[in-house]
Every structure is written in structure tokens, then in C-alpha cells.
Structure 1
């Protein structure tokens, strides 16, 4: 018996397949550098020389692009105002300084990302509640910052602390004893930890230094006196530090005045692992009491 011919498979949706093939080709083109560049150039109205058809004259194209830029800037400002309004409640507020407002809007119009727009909205609300809270210099630096740089600052703030009577934020990295005669013969290594283990890489640290938000040199505090105990505020917890030995000093990186100013805007996160690690480290050289009465260590 002869083998029967197999029935012919008929594609009942040729248009659908053609559409899918076309879409796959478009996706592949977009993944390539040329396709990606075309998409970017089209979005920003600078793709005339990449088109095969004749475009309008240069003056018309320039006017179109400028109109597009102004529309985007207007949309950015309106988004920031809407976000500020959502953050406001029934607080007593004032009108910020007119010169400050002009500079604020001039800089804020170029803020496109939603997360950064939320930050600028927070700044505007704070300025209405407490005029003079954020300087024009801080706004100028913030306007140049990318999302990645802002996230690096936020990670640094999560590790920040203050000590003594100085309220400027710092990144404490460890401590050492002052080198006496015995220590010179048998030096004691400093007790330190790496910030890179707590999501603040060396690259991030250098990035913040390049922006002028953290001073470039790791500093060493003066000798910490045995009495009275020194205040040490780590994130939301207040400690009192009493050295176990004479001549104790802390190592730290210091936020610049502008960095400290911006840190107050983005520094609400905490890093529990760092908190635990720095307390364990400091407990090797200090007696620490928290503001709730707990004792971190009880060395003799």
C-alpha cells in the first residue's frame, strides 16, 4: 500500500507571522549600536542626517528641537511641583527667597528621573518650611549628579556618624592607640574595617571625593579624653565612648560642608551590618553606653 501524502500545513495567520517577524527585526535592530543611536537621535530631534527622505530646513529643525526641549523642561518642573504638593500637609510655610526660587527652577527643569524629581520636591518643601536650608551651591552640585552618584551618597550616609561636639557627618573606619615608647618597639596595628564590605566601594568613595562631597584624606582625630565620655551618634543611636587606654584616636573620612548639606536630604537609610561591625570594632578599645542604657561592652 502506497504511503499517503502528508497533508499540507497551511499557515492560517500569515499576516500575524509577518508582523511578528517585522517586530523581531525591529528589536534586533534596536539592540545594535546604529539602531540604538537612531532611536536616541529621533527622541531628541537630531536625526535629520540619518533619514533617507529630505527633511525641513535647518532653522525649522532647530526650532522644533528647541520647542521639544522646552516642553520637556516644563514637564519636569510640573512633575516636581506635583510631587512637592503631595508631600505638603498643613505645616506652616513661607515663600522662599525669590532669587533662590529662580535658581531652583532654572536647575530643576533639567531633572528628568522620577527618583531625582522626588528629591528636588523634598528640597522645595524644606525650603518653604525653613528658608535657607539648602544653598545654591548644593543645588548646583545636585543638578550635575547622576542617579548613580546620588545613590553612592545615600550609601555613604547610611554609614555616617558624628562624634564629639562636631555635628558634621563622618565615615568612621577604626581607631588606634597613640604610639608610646613600648608601642614604638612593638607597634600595635590600627583597628580598622573596610567600607567596601558595606556597599560603599572605593570607586564610590572616589566618586564622592571628585564631586567635593567628601574630603580626600582619611583623617585622625585628636586624643580622646578618658573623662568625660565622648558622644558618638551612629545613625539613630546615641552612644557615650570612654577609652579603655590613654591616647586613643579615631580614623575617619569627613563630609565637606556641601556634602553634609546634601546628606541631610538623602541620609535616612541605615545599614544594620555596618552598625553592628563598627560597634564590635570600637568595643575593642572603648567602653560604649547607648542612650537607652545598654552597655556594648564591659572591659575591665
Structure 2
């Protein structure tokens, strides 16, 4: 056995002891050669050597689990007090919501994820109704890969105030004029992977219902009309240079909107450059 293998087994044994409350030791079994039911592979060679019966061991494991859950929820609530700004609250969270929150959050042991749950509690304490139970359930089941996809997505999202939602501008097209119906009109689309958000990550966000599956189009913009988005603390106006311009974008779902609020990241620099390069021919981009 190599040193690396030995370290892995030692680490695994320690993990098992922490969760079970008892160490597992290797059994010495006599080799059976005549039994028709004997197996030569996939045998369990380890067991717990303890004077305590199975029931008492189960009770101890349950106690350890309850202790860990209590430590988790105390950590999250402590973080929430640290993160909470000195602002006026609009009321108390709904009691049923709070019970769901505790039930879902008490199994969160990762400190990074605990901080997200703490932010949720802060947000709900300031403005009850900010986070739905569905969003809590989605966050609870989210894998590391899915969380990374949301993180990448967040830095590309602009906030549309009039709809209270987040979206990612993809490009635009110009409707053909009546005098030129045979032409499709000019179209420009960005490759979001150049800004760090790959197509598989987009599909992941769609699969977990954080992003709508279909691209969405804005209303037709005439010359001088604009669409305004907010990227963290900066506003950008997309002002049309000519008539019949339509912006295309991906839009987050209600659950996506709620979870996006947990992630405060500045606008992605590569995406900002892509926006300017892709839209500059037909739009004036004004940052405020």
C-alpha cells in the first residue's frame, strides 16, 4: 500500500468515526472453501468493536447528528447578525417560512454555503417575502457545479428595474423594412463563453429552473429609445441609433432572480467589452 493510499484510508476511517461515534476495526475471518454461498469479492471486512449494542450506537449517532445540525444553524444565525446592516425592517419573517429555513439550513456545514444561507435570513428579516421556500429548496439541492454556474452567470446579469428581474443581453437584430422584405435584417449575437459562461453551464441553469429555456426579445426600439439595466452600482443605457432594433437576452426565473440577489459581483470585464463590440454599430452604450 502506498503512502497516499494509506493516508486516504486513515482519513476515511477518521471521517467514519466522527459520523458514527465509534471506530471501525478490521475483522479476521476464517476462509471458507466448501460453502456454496461464500463470496470472494465485495466482502465487508470491517466492523465496530464495542460493548454497546446497535440501538445504543444508533442513539449516539443520532446525538452526533443533532449536535452538528445545532452547530450549523448557530453558525448561520451568527453570520446573519454579522452581515445584517443597520436598516429599518419591514416586519418579521413568516413563522412557517422560518421553520422551513431552519429545517433546510441545519444540514449546511460548508462555510461558503452557510454565508449564502445567512444572507437569505438577513434579506428575509429586512423584507419578508424576498425569498420563497422554493428558492430555499433549490439552494439546498444545488451541487458545487451548479453553484459555480450561477456564480458565473451573476457577473453577466443586468437588473431590469421595471420588471424586477435579471437578464443577460445576448445581442440584437434589426427588423427588415417594408421596402426590403427579402432581407432578414442585420443580426449580432455574442458568444458568452468568451466571458466565462459556457453553453453547458447555461444548460445547467436551465435544467435547475434558474433560467428560462428560450431566448427572449425586447420590444422593438425606435431611434432615440433606450433600455436601461443596472450592473451592481452602475447603470447602462442601450440607446437605439436607428429604428426597429430588438435586443435578445436570457432571462432568469423567479427562483433565479432570488438567488442572484445573494451574489454581488461587479460586471464581468470581458462581457462589458463584448457588449460594446457587438452593439456599438446600432446602439449608443452610456454607462452612468
Give the TM interval when normalised to the shorter protein. Answer: 0.7 to 0.9
Judging changes above 3 Å, is the alpha-carbon distance between structure 1 residues 28 and 183 closer, same or farther for their aligned structure 2 residues?
farther
Residue 201 of structure 2: aligned partner: 204
Q: SS of the residue aligned with 1:251?
A: strand
Cα deviation, residue 238, structure 1: 2.0
1:29 and 2:6 aligned: yes
Q: SS of the residue aligned with 1:280?
A: helix
Residue 81 of structure 1: aligned partner: 77
Residue 154 of structure 1: aligned partner: 151
Cα deviation, residue 43, structure 1: 4.0
CA distance in 2, matches of 1:163, 1:118: 26
1:223 and 2:220 aligned: yes
CA distance in 2, matches of 1:230, 1:89: 31
Cα deviation, residue 267, structure 1: 3.6
Instruction: State whether residues 209 and 215 of structure 1, in contact with CA within 8 Å, keep that contact through their aligned partners in structure 2.
Output: yes
Unaligned runs of 5+ in 1: 1-23, 292-300
Cα deviation, residue 170, structure 1: 0.6
Q: SS of the residue aligned with 1:249?
A: strand
CA distance in 2, matches of 1:83, 1:267: 17
Larger C-alpha radius of gyration, 1 or 2?
Answer: 1
Residue 51 of structure 1: aligned partner: 46
Cα deviation, residue 227, structure 1: 4.5
Q: SS of the residue aligned with 2:166?
A: strand
Unaligned runs of 5+ in 2: 25-43
Cα deviation, residue 135, structure 1: 1.6
Give the paired residue count. Answer: 266
Instruction: State whether residues 156 and 267 of structure 2, in contact with CA within 8 Å, keep that contact through their aligned partners in structure 1.
Output: yes
Q: Name the TM-score, length of structure 2 as normaliser.
A: 0.80
1:240 and 2:217 aligned: no
Judging changes above 3 Å, is the alpha-carbon distance between structure 1 residues 71 and 187 closer, same or farther for their aligned structure 2 residues?
same
Cα deviation, residue 216, structure 1: 1.0
Judging changes above 3 Å, is the alpha-carbon distance between structure 1 residues 220 and 118 closer, same or farther for their aligned structure 2 residues?
same
Say what the alpha-carbon RMSD is for the aligned residues: 2.8
CA distance in 2, matches of 1:110, 1:53: 26
Q: Name the TM-score, length of structure 1 as normaliser.
A: 0.77
